[in-house]
Structure 1
């Protein structure tokens, strides 16, 4: 039997990149998925590709009403057993190039969105008998990242929020863990120049950029019962970049 048969998982930022890779693997393992994203055309196309096991809704993770709608959609599909806080933005700027508006934009999407999501899914997960939350941080949340102070700040915050939530939610039967990808071949890293790409590759012992499917497999592990005794953990998927 597939590991996720009968389970429903909500994925934010699910229209493309890592979120889409996670959705494809989950459906292949028997799950039903709710894809939340602002990218409506891509999100609907992915849901159509995945068939009746997937549904898409337009979701702004900074809005509580959108979280309520996403949770309601999941429960209508059979409950809520897992959630991936995957939505995020990355607009790299150095300290002296970052204004308050850009810093706050990162905080709202990357940090507040995660907070609202964890809060929103708890009652539904309890009704489903427990669940697993996976927060997508970054290697920028494990060490400094050049020229990306706002992004780095939110990813460090997400790391701490994961541990605090893990303590709060363990008695409720809900596990909370974080995944810390290094450079992954998605639309997010297309902002790099060729020189920046070469510099980042030089910091990776395995000598290559990762693939979205490699992150997705780590996320599936943390969502599944294979990680049943793990909560508050940090899982780096980075080719050794943080060694």
Structure 2
């Protein structure tokens, strides 16, 4: 029987690439989205991948959403925590709401999805969780204390949960992308984008498909000996 995978924020950008790559591996993929039902329907029409709407930062909504997915498609074996938002500002201009919303969704979403799926994975003796971190969670970034803190928290969350799952056949890993050629990055002005690319040793932006291929490996049977790791996929921009 095909394994069931949830990809949060799975209908666009990196999430869309991950959803498509997992589908190509024979997974039953459900792409979570937050709010735009019309775009989600267009995604399903284009890809044939089912969608599920719930706020990943809302604990009760996640529990209900995952339960509905499990009832319709089967128990969830793979979770990719990709959903995230930005509310950028320097600290003295950042509101508490800006801080809280980023932490609630980016980091809280990882907890909520794990809480809804990890116990079942543990009981069944197999599971894969991949959390999408960020180069800015590793190196920091001016004007992003909220985002950097949330993404850094994801990396710590990954290492801790991996220790809980290891002996039960559940792996927990993270991928920390650098600057990827998505709509979000495309919105950056050309002069700023040129400066960003100039700092990337390979001399280009990453592609969403490259991140997706990393997820495919980590969620595969072949990835069973990798857990608690954060794989940096940033073109050499940050090495440590």
> Deviations along 1:57-91, whole A, 9 cap, x unmatched?
11100112321233224423132110000000123
Answer whether contact 2:177 2:233 (CA < 8 A) is retained.
yes
**Offset at 1:227?**
1.2
Answer whether contact 1:9 1:74 (CA < 8 A) is retained.
no
Answer whether contact 2:122 2:165 (CA < 8 A) is retained.
no
| SS of corresponding position for 2:139 | coil
From 64, 79, 89, the counterpart of 2:59: 64
From 39, 45, 48, the counterpart of 1:48: 45
Answer whether contact 1:80 1:128 (CA < 8 A) is retained.
no
| SS of corresponding position for 1:89 | coil
Whole-Å Cα distance in 2 between the matches of residues 19 and 192 of structure 1? 20
Answer whether contact 1:34 1:73 (CA < 8 A) is retained.
no
Q: Which residue of 1 aligns with 2:112?
A: 116
> Deviations along 1:197-231, whole A, 9 cap, x unmatched?
12211110011111111111111111111211011
**Offset at 1:141?**
1.5
Q: Residues 182 and 31 of structure 1: is their aligned pair in 2 closer, same or farther, counting only changes over 3 Å?
A: same
Q: Across the two proteins, how many residue pairs are aligned to each other?
A: 237
Aligned Cα root-mean-square deviation (Å): 1.6
**Mean Cα displacement is larger for which, 194-203 or 25-34?**
194-203
From 230, 238, 241, the counterpart of 2:237: 241
**Offset at 1:121?**
0.8
Q: Which TM-score applies when normalising by structure 2?
A: 0.92
Q: Which residue of 1 aligns with 2:147?
A: 151
**Offset at 1:7?**
1.0
Q: Does 1:184 align with 2:180?
A: yes
**Offset at 1:191?**
4.6
Whole-Å Cα distance in 1 between the matches of residues 67 and 45 of structure 2? 20
Whole-Å Cα distance in 2 between the matches of residues 214 and 130 of structure 1? 25
Q: Which TM-score applies when normalising by structure 1?
A: 0.91
Q: Residues 144 and 150 of structure 1: is their aligned pair in 2 closer, same or farther, counting only changes over 3 Å?
A: same
> Deviations along 1:16-56, whole A, 9 cap, x unmatched?
111111111111111111111113222222223332xx321
Matches of residues 157-196 of structure 1 in structure 2 within 5 Å? 157-196=153-192
